[in-house]
């Protein structure tokens, strides 16, 4: 047989022969085969990922062939069937929406958190149609008990469909009932109204999808002309208050002076009364003494006093015989004597 024919048959035999098995299949029975098998299994698990890990502050919503299971998955490890099932993880921690100016958002961007959303402030019209800007902060939390129903109805962007439109609508309605210049004065009242109405609106939703923690009114930004008008009014009020304080101060000073004058007058009156009482008492005592003296002057006593006076005159005449004595009638009345030897003829004594 020619050589070419032999080559032809040999080639046909090789082509019709079954393909050789891979090396790891040939070694399936030994340890290296088990290793390759585990490696393949790990690769399948890695790419299909038939499990999910849910952290604290999260809940998992299992979706099987497009159907949401009503009971959310709790934190932990959960297995699922690849392709047929998937899990939507939702955040159940407290979240925040800040309605504030771009400048403030940029200033605090370094402290940005995944649970915080920053949105432009809410611009609304007041009762007279003037634009007013409101800045506020809303803290809320997904109701984990109805997380599946909330996501199935509102979708993963449920915040934009529930919180944001309700807050803007309520703020528009509340601010629209006030005039711009009265907003700062009634700030607490407005904040309470916004909080109450937003809570009422969200709590009336089916299954109460959201728990509102707080609604804080941060700032009320008024139009420039309204701010200027308020400032003028405040300056005028301050001037009136200052004038009232001055008047009150003057009244206090006048009252103090009046009280001092009244006190001095009372003191003078008391002193005068004291002097008058003392004079009266002294006069009464003198009168009483005079009455007692008058009552004690009997005729015999007067004669005795006259005799005593006469004896004194007699004694005086012994020393000065030139003296002249003037006797007055009446017994014990004074007798006056004059020393005639004196050049000036001065009165020397008066005897009783």
Last residue of a domain, one of 187, 204, 222: 222
What's the per-residue H, E or C state across 29-78? CCHHHHHHHHHHHHHHHHHHCCEEEECCCEEEEEEECCEECCCCECCEEE
Encode pLDDT of 70-115 as tens digits.
999 999 998 888 888 889 899 999 999 999 887 766 666 544 467 8
Q: Let me know whether 155 and 261 are in one domain.
A: no
Q: Looking at the structure, do residues 100 and 118 belong to the same domain, yes or no?
A: yes
Greater confidence (189 vs 5) lies with 189
pLDDT at 212 over 90: yes
Nearest alpha-carbon partner for 124 in 224, 220, 189? 220
Name which residue leads in pLDDT, 4 or 291: 291
**pLDDT for residue 352:** 42
Q: What is the pLDDT of residue 197?
A: 95
Based on the structure, what is the number of domains in the chain?
4
Are residues 189 and 231 both part of a single domain? Answer: no
Q: Is the pLDDT of residue 194 over 90?
A: yes
More confident residue, 146 or 23: 146
- 216 in the same domain as 99: yes
Residues 119 and 64 both lie in one domain = no
Contact at 8 Å (CB) between 121 and 100?
yes
Could you give the CA distance from residue 138 to residue 143 in angstroms, rounded to a whole number? 16
Domain that includes residue 21, residue range = 15-88
- Would 350 be classed as within a structural domain? no
For residue 351, being part of any structural domain is answered with no
Of 88, 118, 146, the last residue of a domain is 88
CB 324 within 8 A of CB 337: yes
The verdict on 58 and 101 lying in the same domain is no
pLDDT at 346: 46
The pLDDT value recorded for residue 270 is 84
The answer to the question of residue 3 being in a domain is: no
Dump pLDDT digits (tens) for 20-53: 555 545 554 555 667 667 777 666 666 667 888 9
Token pair 């040999």: residue: 10
- How sure is the predictor about 228, in pLDDT bands with cuts at 50, 70 and 90? confident
Per-residue pLDDT of 288-344, as tens digits, reads 777 777 776 677 666 777 777 777 777 766 776 666 665 555 544 555 555 555 544
Q: Is the pTM of this model over 0.75?
A: no
User: For the chain, where are the alpha helices, taking DSSP H only?
Assistant: 3-16, 23-26, 31-48, 102-107, 147-154, 158-175, 187-203, 224-296, 299-319
């Amino acid at each position: 047989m020619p050589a070419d024919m032999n080559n032809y048959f040999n080639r046909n035999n090789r082509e019709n022969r079954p393909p050789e098995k891979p090396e790891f299949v040939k070694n399936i029975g030994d340890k290296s085969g088990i290793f390759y098998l585990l490696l393949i299994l790990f690769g399948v698990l890695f790419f299909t990922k038939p499990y999910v890990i849910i952290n604290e502050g999260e809940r998992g919503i299992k979706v099987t062939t497009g159907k949401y299971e009503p009971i959310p998955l709790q934190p932990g490890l959960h297995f699922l069937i690849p392709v047929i099932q998937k899990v939507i993880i939702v955040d159940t921690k407290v979240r925040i929406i800040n309605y504030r100016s771009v400048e403030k958002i940029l200033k605090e961007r370094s402290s940005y958190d995944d649970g915080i959303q920053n949105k432009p402030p809410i611009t609304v019209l007041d009762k007279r149609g003037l634009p007013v800007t409101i800045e506020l902060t809303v803290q809320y939390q997904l109701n984990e008990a109805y997380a599946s129903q909330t996501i199935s109805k509102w979708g993963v962007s449920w915040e934009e469909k529930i919180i944001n439109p309700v807050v803007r609508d309520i703020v528009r309605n509340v601010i629209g009932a006030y005039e711009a210049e009265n907003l700062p004065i009634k700030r607490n009242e407005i904040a309470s109204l916004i909080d109450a109405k937003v809570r009422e609106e969200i709590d009336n939703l089916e299954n109460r999808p959201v728990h509102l923690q707080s609604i804080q009114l941060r700032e009320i930004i008024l139009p420039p002309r309204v701010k200027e008008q308020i400032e003028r009014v405040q300056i005028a009020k301050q001037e009136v208050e200052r004038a009232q304080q001055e008047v009150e101060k003057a009244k206090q000073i006048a009252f103090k002076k009046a009280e001092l004058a009244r006190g001095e007058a009372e003191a003078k009156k008391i002193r005068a009364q004291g002097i008058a009482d003392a004079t009266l008492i002294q006069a009464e005592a003198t009168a009483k003494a005079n009455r007692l003296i008058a009552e004690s002057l009997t005729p015999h006593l007067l004669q005795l006093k006259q005799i005593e006076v006469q004896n004194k005159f007699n004694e005086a005449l012994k020393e000065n015989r030139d003296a002249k004595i003037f006797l007055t009638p009446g017994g014990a009345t004074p007798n006056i004597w004059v020393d005639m030897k004196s050049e000036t003829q001065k009165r020397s004594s008066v005897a009783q």
